[in-house]
Amino acid sequence: MRVLKISDVYFPRVTGVSTSIQTFARELSAKGHEVTLIAPDYGSREYYAGADASFEIIRIPSRYLPIDPEDRILQPFKIRRLTDTLRGRGFDLIHIHTPFIAHYSGLALAKRLGLPVVESYHTFFEQYLHHYVPWVPARWMRGAARHFSTNQCNGVDALVVPSQAMLDVLRDYGIQTPAEVIPTGIDLDQFSRGDGQRFRACYDIPPERPVLVLVSRLAFEKNIEFILRALVRIKTEVPDVLLVIAGEGPAQRDLEQLAAHLGLTDNTRFLGYLNRDGSLEDCYRAGAAFVFASRTETQGLVLLEAMALGVPVVSTAVMGTKEVLGDGQGALIAEEDEADFASKVVRLLKEPALRQRLAREAVEHARDWSAPLLADRLLRFYERVIDQARTSIR
């Protein structure tokens, strides 16, 4: 099978969307399928050398996005110029991953090439957009996001949605497009490595100091402020606790200022982005627990990454994270209440036997989310979409 993917974001831009694209593309390529990705060129930003040798990437010139400097705007006429080249490649299907220029350019390519279109709904925009245009009432932005998503999703042949919770939301919008719940899997080989002692040595963290880990884009919708406020309570019980935060984003300065205001300067480290082929795994491994409280995850892949490395989780269970956490195997599920969240973290830090049991459970739970297994599900879905398109032509 030959699959043409298109996205407004990809590495070196670190997001769950980038990770999902890379994971599935690598797995499909390993199974003998041909994958080509159209993605932005980020100019002088460093790419991950050799990270995507298994599939082709066509980089398109792009411009900065004023409301979010991390992202880029693809130049659609550059994509349009690829039509004749792509026509001769024999693609079977186009898979769109983001709802901006990539969506409209992907639809236009599909029409010109006569191909069916699948789109992934990665982001819960209803709970997302108002953080980036705060001068517009949140109620208006939520309504606009619903309308925007409905029009786009009803314009493709099929949808891939990472959780049943997100699919339920889309059905409530009135979206009737055929859809399949297919989460992103994790590379169990990659997330069985990592050296917590090496990480502690690198960042001068004593071996005995209790460490909490949070890996996330530093964005307002990720609810990291809640984690910091809960940390104040945790500190009263475990004074030397350290929260290490791996990630960058538009809320970073505000979060650093909040940590200082709450008296947490000595209890927090903001590390920036860590390389996914080494230092990130070390960071996870250094943690006694992984903490998370995002309200907007369509899946929550970082929870599975932590679990695969044997790190117990303390998290709220909302939207996609609720499905990842399931019945709490490998995790303590908390309410979005600072006292409840803090008490569960403190319990985990103070009870080694509990940590050990949850660590074992976490590794077992993560095996059900392996990348090859979920790539097989995606392939079967592609085949059904392609067969349906051929039947419609007849």
pLDDT of residue 130: 62
pLDDT of residue 131: 62
d(CA 280, CA 296): 23
d(CA 40, CA 74): 6
d(CA 135, CA 244): 32
Residue corresponding to tokens 């043409």: 4
d(CA 220, CA 120): 23
The residue type of 26 is R
d(CA 255, CA 136): 23
d(CA 211, CA 286): 7
CB 365 within 8 A of CB 330: yes
pLDDT of residue 329: 96
Backbone angle region of 65, left / alpha / beta, with phi > 0 → left and psi within -120 to 50 → alpha: beta
DSSP, collapsed to helix, strand or coil, labels residue 197 as helix
pLDDT (tens digit per residue) in 15-73: 999 999 999 999 999 999 999 999 999 986 555 544 577 999 999 999 987 767 778 99
The tens place of each residue's pLDDT in the chain, 394 residues long, gives 999 999 999 999 999 999 999 999 999 999 999 999 999 999 865 555 445 779 999 999 999 877 677 789 999 999 999 999 999 999 999 999 999 999 999 999 999 999 999 999 999 988 777 666 777 787 888 899 999 999 999 999 999 999 999 999 999 999 999 999 999 999 999 999 999 999 999 999 999 999 999 999 999 999 999 999 999 999 999 999 999 999 999 999 999 999 999 999 999 999 999 998 789 999 999 999 999 999 999 999 999 999 999 999 999 999 999 999 999 999 999 999 999 999 999 999 999 999 999 999 999 999 999 999 999 999 999 999 999 998 876 5
- The residues facing 286 across adjacent strands are none
pLDDT of residue 294: 97
d(CA 55, CA 393): 30
Q: What are the backbone dihedrals phi and psi of residue 215, each rounded to the nearest 5 degrees, phi first? A: -110, 120
Q: Which stretches within 192-337 are classed as H helix?
A: 196-202, 224-237, 252-261, 279-285, 301-308, 320-325
Among 89, 106, 97, 105, smallest CA distance to 1 is for 89
pLDDT of residue 393: 66
Among 346, 287, 344, smallest CA distance to 315 is for 344
pLDDT of residue 46: 54
Q: Which domains does the chain have, with CATH numbers?
A: 2-185+371-393 (3.40.50.2000), 190-367 (3.40.50.2000)
d(CA 211, CA 200): 10
pLDDT of residue 212: 99
The dihedral built from the CA positions of residue 20, 21, 25 and 28, taken in this order, carries a sign that is: positive
Residue corresponding to tokens 């919770």: 165
